[in-house]
Chain A
Amino acid sequence: MSAAPEHAPTMARLSLRDRIAPHMPVLLVPLLAIAGFLAIMNPASWLTLTVSGLAMGMMIFVMASGLTLVFGLMDVINFGHGAFVSVGAFVGISVLLALGHMTSAPSLFLNLGAILAAVTAAMLATGAMGWAFEKVIVAPVYGHHLKQILVTMGGLIVVEQLIIVFWGPEEIYFNRPETLKGAITFAGAAIEKYRLVAVAVGILVFVTMRWVLRRTKLGLIVRAGVENGEMVMAMGYNLRLVFVGVFLAGSALAGLGGVMWALYQEVITAHMGNHAMILIFIVVIIGGLGSVEGCFIGALLVGLMQNYIAFLEPKAALISNIALMVAILMWRPMGMIPVVKAK
């Protein structure tokens, strides 16, 4: 009687394509940057455009992250998110204008102090507003998408009009703080200083957010809530409270994004949130509704795409984002990193 043949299972090796597929969204950003380089063929302008594209992407990410998280957690779609962007910008810039002696001084320390004060004021204001918005406008229409869209749109109209009541209908022009004006030259490419700051802030927000979501207990509850809210509530956690907190944080981030966006444009209008909303929606859709990582990658793609196309063919810039969205939805109909719900 011979011994049983030795058990030696062999796993079929995944093909290269299968191994790359999960990382594809992440790879898209460098791929797009390389494609941009090949299309532009001028290292100096390519570097300038790439940095400004990344800066723009980071700002869109900061504004959009709250929206995607709120949707993921509570299935609430907030069309009034743009209102927080506008309010953040108006509050922040008012503070900056009031601190004129600090922003006009050629001292980095004083300038950053003024910006910090502006950002804090803006985030406090939009955070408080987000809390009120959630209580008054969103809470009565949970679980009803159609009503959510209508009601939050109504909220956006009201807030936009209130901004006009308090700050007037005219555009407000202003200057960036002294030390953030101008550009530095690196490898023959002129890079605006402010854009580097924006990239740094964006990365900081992303890393912090990822850390909170992946490494803390609160993040665990939020992620579990996204996947299966009822189960988390059955475990005894007050998901409602967590959600209000997430909504508040998302609104505050939108406010921060609003200040950054305003400093980038150097002009604010009551409708700026409405315009930002268009980019935010594109980013959130291509990233996958509810996914923070997808939102980050989507924002970078949109920022880079917009800047490259604006350089190559200015009139096609806005259309290019729509084209990007269509292409990605053809590839992955739920967005790049779809959120899986356990239902």
Chain B
Amino acid sequence: MIRTLLSGDTPRSLPLALILGGILICLALAPFLFPGVRTVDTAARICIFIVLVASYDLLLGYGGIVSFAHTMFFGIGAYGVALASSHMGRGFDAIAVGAVTGALAAAALAFVIGLFSLRVRAIFFAMITLAVASAVAVLVSQLSGLTGGEDGLTFKTPRALGPAFKFGKEAFDGRLFGVKLNGKLLAYYFVFFGSFCLFLLMLRVVNSPFGRVLQAIRENDFRAESIGYRVVYYRVAATCLSAAIAALAGSLYAIWLRYVGPDTVLSMELMIDILLMVVIGGMGTLYGAVIGAVLFVMAQNYLQNLMGAAAELTSGLPVLPQLLNADRWLLWLGVLFILSVYFFPTGIVGRLRNTR
């Protein structure tokens, strides 16, 4: 049963299976295991980033295509929900319309960009996506009438997903294991199950014949073409699929935050974060996305404090405090990133699978 659910792509390593199982349990029971606004927020972010990073891995790890527009697709999904909710009023219909429109728009845009760049050579794609993504980011902050500009949009999600909504008063006295049964809990599980389904869907895709062809193209595109697969079609299809899933992840993020803004969903920093998560977790396997996203989000939340403490400890020395400043953590991640591309191209998951 589990094999079917995972589309036959099991972790193939005991430590990896244990870690993944642990992550799944922690995320599934997060509101009960770690009650607290901040920890539940972290758990929801992890869920969403797992989907986002996995959809990027679909492109980078399986297709061998580097894209810098993934946050753009993420943002399209987020803005889709935000715009639909603020124009149609709160309700699940607005969310559905926004998410579907966002996903379709992202796929259509990916289709156009893919047709232009991938038919010539795959590296064009990296450069063109970088240019288009930055143009879209500028456009979003300039069209303040539609998108709220730099301030972004705050909107209302359905009542059932807000903290004011209470349920289970009669049966459980409004509490279950000491956790308040309110709309925020429902919102968390909405995000969790949404992410879970999207992740399983992606596992299905990469282990289908389509996924195999993508891997073949990544390994040797010339040979794949000779065998009779139209490389461009497969690459464009992978781009569209990955864009649509990224947009759906963006919709989940917007539903969770009830806010969208250029800095939270469109920034270049976010794009770099995604790259780091994929590479550190492990390219070419979706489980790498899980490990990468969990590690990165945890590090983002807790490592910065540690670095701040280290900076204070070394405050007497020259330069070192600045290097250890909490704002400079991207520096160390960059170094880690380069080292992992050189020495662990398969990331943490590849390492774990090799040490059986």
Residues of chain A whose beta carbon lies under 8 Å from any beta carbon of chain B: 77, 79, 137, 140-141, 145-147, 149-151, 153-155, 157-158, 161-162, 164-165, 169, 274-275, 277-278, 281-282, 284-285, 315, 318-319, 321-322, 325-326, 329-330, 333-334
Contact (A281, B131) CB under 8 Å given A155-B338, A315-B142: yes
Partner of B334, one of A149, A154, A169, A285: A154
User: In the complex, what distance in Å separates the CA atom of A282 from the CA atom of B143?
Assistant: 23
Tell me if B128 and A150 are in contact (CB < 8 A).
no
**A-contact bits for B105-136, CB 8 A (1 contact / 0 none):** 00000000000110110111011101110110
Which A residues are CB-close (under 8 A) to B128? 281, 285, 325
Instruction: Among A151, A165, A282, point to the contact of B131 (Cβ < 8 A).
Output: A282
Contact between B135 and A322, CB atoms less than 8 A apart: yes
* 3 closest Cβ pairs, A-B complex: A161-B331, A157-B334, A154-B338
Contacts A/B (CB < 8 Å), 20 sampled:
A137-B338, A140-B342, A141-B341, A149-B66, A151-B341, A154-B338, A155-B338, A165-B319, A165-B323, A278-B134, A281-B131, A282-B131, A285-B128, A315-B142, A318-B139, A321-B135, A322-B132, A329-B120, A333-B119, A333-B120
Cross-chain pair count, CB within 8 angstroms: 97
* Interface residue range, chain B: 35 or more
B219 to chain A, nearest CB (A): 12
Residue in B closest to A318 when the chains form the complex, CB atoms: B135
Q: Would A158 and B335 count as touching, CB distance under 8 A?
A: yes
Q: CA of A216 to CA of B4 in the docked complex: distance in angstroms?
A: 66
Q: Contact between B130 and A278 (Cβ–Cβ < 8 Å)? A: yes
A145 touches B122 (CB 8 A): yes
Q: Name 11 extra pairs, CB < 8 A, besides A147-B341, A147-B345, A318-B138.
A: A79-B126, A150-B275, A154-B341, A155-B338, A161-B328, A165-B323, A274-B268, A281-B128, A318-B134, A326-B116, A333-B119
Q: Which B residue sits closest to A77, measured CB to CB?
A: B123
B142 lies within 8 A of A329 (CB): no
Task: Tell me what chain A mostly uses at the interface: helix, strand, loop, or mixed.
Answer: helix
Contact (Cβ within 8 A) A146 B342: no
CB A284 to nearest CB in B, in angstroms, measures 7
A265 CB to closest chain B CB (Å) equals: 16
Would A158 and B338 be within 8 Å (CB), given that A77-B123, A149-B126, A326-B116 are in contact? yes
Chain B residues with CB below 8 A from A158, complex form: 331, 334-335, 338
Residue of A nearest to B328 (CB): A161
Expressed in whole angstroms, the minimum distance between the Cβ of A298 and any Cβ of chain B is 13
Chain B CB within 10 Å — which of A137, A146, A282 has the most? A146
Q: A-facing mask of B42-82, CB < 8 A → 1, else 0?
A: 00000000000000000010001010000000000000000
Q: Measured between alpha carbons, how far is A151 from B142 in the docked complex, in Å? A: 32
Main secondary structure of the interface of B (DSSP, over half): helix
A77 to B127, CA, bound (A): 10
Residues from chain A with Cβ under 8 Å of B124 in the complex? 285
- CB <8 Å contact, A284 and B127: yes
Using a CB–CB distance below 8 Å, which chain B residues touch chain A? 60, 64, 66, 116-117, 119-120, 122-124, 126-128, 130-132, 134-135, 138-139, 142-143, 268, 272, 275, 279, 319, 322-323, 327-328, 330-331, 333-335, 337-338, 341-342, 345
**Chain B residues within an 8 Å CB radius of A322:** 131-132, 135
Cα–Cα distance between A153 and B271 once the two chains are bound (Å) = 11
CB distance from B319 to the nearest CB of A (A): 7
Contact status A154-B337, CB under 8 Å: yes
Q: Which residues of A contact B268 (CB under 8 A)?
A: 274
Give Cα A247–Cα B268 distance, bound, in whole angstroms. 27
B329 to chain A, nearest CB (A): 9
Q: B335 contacts which chain A residues (CB < 8 A)?
A: 154, 158
